[in-house]
Chains A and B, each alone.
Chain A
């Protein structure tokens, strides 16, 4: 964001906070249905000190981040090479097209009960769900990245005498990198979004568990604090990935 406009963002954020404070602290809105910022601050301090449901707050945060990162990383590790191969080989593309075409449009949440049936309620099904949801994006974007590489740049690589493996690692891979980074970015936000859904599968800890559990007991301040923590972590994660993207793709000159 450029500097002259930053003040508008700060102002709109501050206005929202002010409106929320006025509505809740003045009693216009019932504190039981919308907690005030002060209540949330107290709740946060309380969660920090005493934890939730027998586990400290950081372990709820830690387990959610662990699940999201595991599913996300697996999807990158398997999806990027698979996508690059599919983008480069017509036969593989033809083999995988119907599989991906069928599974991709199904909302991953639809698989939750099946995952529990097959894999139980451990870490496996949660990470598996996140992995599966991210995988299609990573595979499709990476494949698309390879397909969109201009013919001429491949010719240039052949012309300077690169062998086929060299052509793949020194031309195809870097040329597809912008698309791969886009896929990684999309997958990162999907993985974080799905943490809450995956923690529906009989979780005993995690931020998703915390907000679901607290809402069931009408402990709304905890629910709100949980949602705010999820939002902030998502924001930091997004910023970190953008920073990596800018570094890795500095040669795009953007």
Chain B
């Protein structure tokens, strides 16, 4: 198997305001995870459990306090298009058209127009935005903005796609559409995806493995293997195993830390 991401004994501490100087809060601690190629990993956990802090470290936005964090054998120190992020808020560059948003990265890295042009057209088609390439972000709906973000990440051919509650702000119907879109994008590109959410159903529908995080300490409470075949359809939500897994995870998330072991 191909290991894409390795996290060993990972820890992240923050200085804590209002406490004694030098005393620090452990946001993430003893975090051990290996993500294999082409896997979709969903992390669920209560808010403040450190799941976003973990994603920030993988993205290279913040450095770990200690422990090992490697992408394909290389230690992570700074952001890179190798680890493209789809943010929760629709973070597009509002002064650029959809197409220019997608190609800004490759263009700035010195990729030839003959190379990034066709690639941009391909990813825009994959996310269903080929007719909106010349639109500006303010002209797009929330769902379309998230599609544009996905296209911007895909165009770099990333080793790992990081998604930070990307569909959290969308309405239920749009969210289902985006799940189906993500599944079809995965079928086409077979990317490795680390997906953060607080929506258990979303995690079960998308993931090969669901990581449940605990709060205080911010670490992995349990890992569930999700057995459903790909390509998946919404039919699986009616499967009894789906309901059973959901009930179990919801129960685990509700449990008090001391009752968990």
Contact = CB atoms under 8 A, between A and B. Distances in A.
Interface of B: 59-61, 78-81, 83-85, 87, 89, 91-96, 104-105, 108-109, 136-139, 152, 156
Interface size class of A (residues with CB under 8 A): 20 to 34
B136 A152 contact: no
Contacts of A156: 85, 87, 91-93
Contact of B79 (A153, A158, A251, A253): A158
A254 to B, nearest CB: 9
B104 A160 contact: yes
B95 A160 contact: no
Given A159-B59, A251-B136, A174 B85 contact: no
Interface of A is mostly: helix
Contact of B138 (A160, A170, A253): A253
Interface string A156-171: 1111111100100011
A251 to B, nearest CB: 5
Contacts of A163: 108
Contact of A166 (B80, B81, B108, B136): B108
Interface of A: 150, 152-153, 155-163, 166, 170-171, 174-175, 177, 250-253
Contacts of B84: 159-160
Contacts of A161: 79-81, 105, 108-109, 156
A159 B92 CA distance: 12
A166 B92 CA distance: 16
A160 to B, nearest CB: 3
A162 B59 CA distance: 14
A150 B93 CA distance: 11
Given A159-B84, A161-B156, A251-B136, A174 B95 contact: yes
Given A177-B95, A253-B138, A253-B139, A159 B85 contact: yes
Given A158-B79, A251-B94, 4 more contacts: A150-B91, A156-B92, A161-B81, A161-B109
9 nearest A-B pairs in the assembled complex, by CB-CB distance = A160-B105, A253-B138, A158-B79, A161-B81, A174-B95, A156-B91, A251-B95, A152-B91, A251-B136
26 contacts: A150-B91, A152-B87, A153-B93, A155-B79, A155-B87, A155-B91, A156-B93, A157-B93, A158-B60, A158-B78, A158-B79, A159-B59, A159-B80, A159-B81, A160-B81, A160-B105, A162-B104, A162-B108, A166-B108, A171-B93, A174-B93, A174-B95, A251-B96, A252-B94, A252-B138, A253-B139
Given A155-B79, A170-B104, A170-B108, A160 B91 contact: no
Given A159-B59, A251-B136, A152 B81 contact: no
Contacts of A250: 136
A171 B105 CA distance: 12
A253 B136 contact: yes
A153 B59 CA distance: 14
A55 B108 CA distance: 55
